[in-house]
Amino acid sequence: MTEPGGAISTRSRTLVLVILLIGFGAGFVKSFDRTPAGFFQPRSIGKAGDGKPHFETRFVSGGETPQTHAPSLVELTDGRFRAFWFAGSREGAKDVEIHTAVFVPGRGGWHREPSAATRASTQKSLLRYIRKLGNPVAGRAANGQIWLFYVSVSVGGWGGSSVTMTTSTDDGKTWTPARRLITTPFFNLSTLVKGTPFLYDDGTLGLPVYHEMIGKFCELLRLDKTGAIIDKQRLSSGKYSLQPVVLAQSNRKAITLMRYAGGQSPKRVIRASTDDAGQRWSHPEKSALSNPDAALSGVVLADGRILIVLNDIESGRDQLSLVTSHDGGVTWKTVIKLEDQTGLPGQPLDRARYLETTGTLARDSDATVPNPADYARAASVQMCRGAGCGFEFSYPYLIQARNGEIHLVYTWNRSFIKHVQFNQAWLDQRLSETGNDQHH
Amino acid sequence: MINITNITGLAGATLAITASLLLVPPIRRLKRIHIGLLMSVTAIIVAVPIGALPLAAYIRSCFGDLSITTNVLLVMAIFSNLSGRRPVDEKQKFVINGLIAVTALVFYPLALGIGPFDPYRLGYGSLGFLTGLFMLALCFWAVRFYLISICIALSVVTHAMAWYESTNLWDYLLDPLVSVYALVAVLTGGLRTTTHPSGQNSHELPTPPQDGVESTRCP
């Protein structure tokens, strides 16, 4: 094998051809075995929950760590719920772990369990140096396992993120060794998760992801039943969209809503749609919903209504709203402002007033909180800076339980995770009360 | 138990660290047997865990798993330096570097989100992409540019075997390190040809002296 056209033996030439044919033979067999495109599997939960309207709120976390952020939620097989979030001394610190807690409906509060993942456990499994952990997102796979995806960073900031995956066969008591999903060809840098995973009708799983290193754009991964990536689809490009949420209305129709990360007013949630199970997505466009470069979450009810939780304002994260759409996400109506400190005069608040206000909010959020002042003090550590104190209600994660009830978790002042639970009777009552007000 | 893809990934990082010794001029002036011994010792040191992780794991943390193309080229460079034989000629080297450089210049901007088309998606089992690669590999085989054919074929077969964590064929064909190397090689080679039409490519790793023969030239 020396010179082109030179003295090369026929045997070597034949050997190269044999390598070529064997290599591509294996390649074509694998390619023919590829999983065909699937259809969405919309969650058709016909139940509306308990007939009596109810709306409850409580805290998931109890201030065990100074900083707490980015919760997600999954329903367990026995009707309990498990939440995940990342927490530590500060965002990006080496002591940040993926915390988890379990909630038993009807029996009071949340109970903290051992962390689902730590920097050390992730490093040991991946055989890579891990600098920090972030956003956990949990979903139920077709085989009944809980699949937990979370962000891990070896080098740099969040732009250097990769997605790590671990699974559990016992509803989160124990976890398999983590493995890394390879999602980009450039050192596998800059892929993060936030949106809720969803199932296709063939048992494969859709995982919305986003990139924020050079561009800010969204993609959709499709994982087979073993968790291997079998496809990736671009939902947007450029530098203006993050954290997609895919909402399937039927087996072919879905919309995706994305956090607006561009700087041009009006700042609106980005929306794209598909009518062919995601074979093609429409060009992403600004929707009617305001967005201050903040995450959102949503579910589709059995009657086709879409529920979204987001910061429905153009700047800040001090207001969090539940909104609904009857027409596939074209127009929206506000159901309730779950949190709203936008109208509070004199912002940013001085520390004393902030402690008073936040203490009241904590007590209103959870009547079982033993000392609301402790919650206010913990929040002030995160939310008070030189200019004063502010509020943040962000990173919502919304699911519908098998009994039809809606469960929401979100970051409360970067210090706690808050849980909101309501049924459709409350939703309908609320919508009848608001009438035609507050349309987008 | 250690995962097989961790072993293959760490092996690639170990190979890269070991081969990088050949870039150090004083090492290149050693006798071949000494270079071989030094590389073997280095490979063991970087692959053995010191503290929580082996040194190779830190390199892998930064650069990910090396493509099969990179592995083939590194093995070839080591073989060339230890044996004194050149498996491929300058023309083949130039063509493979040119092919990698042009592919990288088109591929990476698109894959990193410059527009709606993502060529990286083709690596998830696209029959058209695989057929195109097969035709390309056959063409290079026909004109006796075997190195390219072998790199492509080995990438395809290792992808089919799930050699690495990645399930995308592109990660077996190409990586940013070999892309940067190819770009530099093409640019410096072209520059040298322009200024010194008969000159040797400066990026080429020199052949070390035969055993027992002192080196008399600088690379």
Q: Which residue has the tokens 């939703």?
A: A427
Chain A residues near residue B128 by CB distance under 8 angstroms: none
A·B CB contacts under 8 A: 178
Question: Rounded distance, CA A133 to CA A70, Å?
Answer: 11
Q: Which residue has the tokens 């038993």?
A: A104
A353 domain-assigned: no
* Cβ separation B144–A5 shorter than 8 A: yes
* pLDDT tens-digit series, residues B19-35: 999 989 899 889 989 99
* Cβ separation B53–A129 shorter than 8 A: yes
* Cβ separation A185–B174 shorter than 8 A: yes
B60 closest CB neighbour out of A5, A20, A128: A128
| pLDDT recorded at residue A340 | 94
* Cβ separation B88–A1 shorter than 8 A: yes
Which value does ipTM take for this structure? Answer: 0.91
Question: Rounded distance, CA B15 to CA A238, Å?
Answer: 37
Residue of B154, B142, B147, B127 whose CA lies nearest to B67: B154
* pLDDT tens-digit series, residues B111-120: 999 989 999 9
A420 domain-assigned: yes
Hey, is the C-beta of B103 within 8 angstroms of any chain A C-beta? no
A106-124: string of b/e by CB count within 10 Å (b at 16+)? eeebbeeeebbbbbebbbe
Burial of A21 (0-12, 13-18, 19+ CB in 10 A): middle
A21 domain-assigned: no
Q: Report whether pLDDT(B89) > 90.
A: no
A71 domain-assigned: yes
| pLDDT recorded at residue A411 | 97
Query: Which of the pair, B171 or B191, is modelled with greater confidence?
Result: B171
B156 closest CB neighbour out of A23, A34, A229: A23
What percent of chain A is modeled with pLDDT above 70? 95
| Mean pLDDT of the region B64-85 | 92
* Cβ separation B150–A16 shorter than 8 A: yes
* pLDDT tens-digit series, residues A19-61: 999 999 999 999 998 888 889 998 766 666 668 999 999 999 9
A27 domain-assigned: no
| pLDDT recorded at residue A50 | 61
The CA-CA-CA angle for residues A252, A257, A263, to 5°, reads 150
pLDDT level of residue B199 (50, 70, 90 thresholds): very low
pLDDT level of residue B1 (50, 70, 90 thresholds): low
Residues in contact with B46: Cβ distance below 8 Å, sequence separation at least 6, in sequence order: B13, B14, B17, B18, B54, B55, B56, B59
For A353-381, the DSSP string reads HHHHHHHHHHHHH-TT-S-HHHHHHHHHH
Pairing of strands A393-400, A406-412: antiparallel
A19 closest CB neighbour out of B6, B111, B153: B153
Q: Report whether pLDDT(B208) > 50.
A: no
* pLDDT tens-digit series, residues B122-177: 999 999 999 999 999 999 999 999 999 999 999 999 999 999 999 999 999 999 99
Average pLDDT, chain A: 92
* Cβ separation B61–A214 shorter than 8 A: no
Our CA-based measurement puts residue A67 at a distance from the nearest CA of chain B, in whole angstroms, of 26
Chain B residues near residue A229 by CB distance under 8 angstroms: 124, 167-168
Laid out side by side, the sheet with A55-59 consists of A55-59, A416-422, A406-412, A393-400
Our CA-based measurement puts residue B12 at a distance from the nearest CA of chain A, in whole angstroms, of 13
Helix (H) or strand (E) holding A69: strand A67-75
Amino acid at A213: M
* Cβ separation B53–A127 shorter than 8 A: yes
Our CA-based measurement puts residue B165 at a distance from the nearest CA of chain A, in whole angstroms, of 7
| pLDDT recorded at residue A387 | 76
Question: Rounded distance, CA A16 to CA A439, Å?
Answer: 68
Hey, is the C-beta of B193 within 8 angstroms of any chain A C-beta? no
Q: Report whether pLDDT(B190) > 90.
A: no
| pLDDT recorded at residue A46 | 64
**Which of B68, B76, B150, B156 best probes binding to A when mutated, by most A CB atoms within 10 angstroms?**
B156
Residue of A426, A421, A352, A364 whose CA lies nearest to A389: A352
A128 closest CB neighbour out of B61, B153, B160: B61
CB A67 within 8 A of CB A87: yes
* Cβ separation A186–B112 shorter than 8 A: yes
pLDDT level of residue A436 (50, 70, 90 thresholds): low
Chain B residues near residue A242 by CB distance under 8 angstroms: none
Question: Minimal Cα distance from B176: which residue of A?
Answer: A186
| pLDDT recorded at residue A4 | 46
Residue of A154, A143, A138 whose CA lies nearest to A204: A143
Residue of B55, B91, B46, B35 whose CA lies nearest to B207: B35
Chain B residues near residue A120 by CB distance under 8 angstroms: 52
* pLDDT tens-digit series, residues B38-69: 999 999 999 998 888 999 999 999 999 999 99
CATH number at residue A221: 2.120.10.10
- Domain, as residue range, for A398: 44-341+391-434
Question: Minimal Cα distance from A154: which residue of B?
Answer: B61
* Cβ separation B124–A229 shorter than 8 A: yes
B113 closest CB neighbour out of A130, A155, A215: A215
CB A218 within 8 A of CB A256: yes
Question: Rounded distance, CA A285 to CA A204, Å?
Answer: 28
**Number of domains forming the structure of chain A:** 1
A15 domain-assigned: no
CB B66 within 8 A of CB B15: yes
A266 domain-assigned: yes
Hey, is the C-beta of B118 within 8 angstroms of any chain A C-beta? yes
CB A203 within 8 A of CB A248: no
Residue of A154, A172, A157 whose CA lies nearest to A72: A172
| pLDDT recorded at residue B196 | 62
Q: Report whether pLDDT(B209) > 50.
A: no
A232 closest CB neighbour out of B86, B124, B150: B124
pLDDT level of residue A97 (50, 70, 90 thresholds): very high
* Cβ separation A232–B120 shorter than 8 A: yes
A125-153: string of b/e by CB count within 10 Å (b at 16+)? bbbbbbbbbbbbbbbbbeeebbbbbbbbb
Chain B residues near residue A1 by CB distance under 8 angstroms: 87-88, 146-147
**Which of A182, A188, A213, A223 best probes binding to B when mutated, by most B CB atoms within 10 angstroms?**
A182
* Cβ separation A182–B64 shorter than 8 A: yes
On the CB side of B177, CA atoms within 13 Å amount to: 23
B171 closest CB neighbour out of A130, A182, A232: A182
Question: Rounded distance, CA A97 to CA A132, Å?
Answer: 9
Query: Which of the pair, A5 or A166, is modelled with greater confidence?
Result: A166
Q: Which residue has the tokens 């919903």?
A: A289
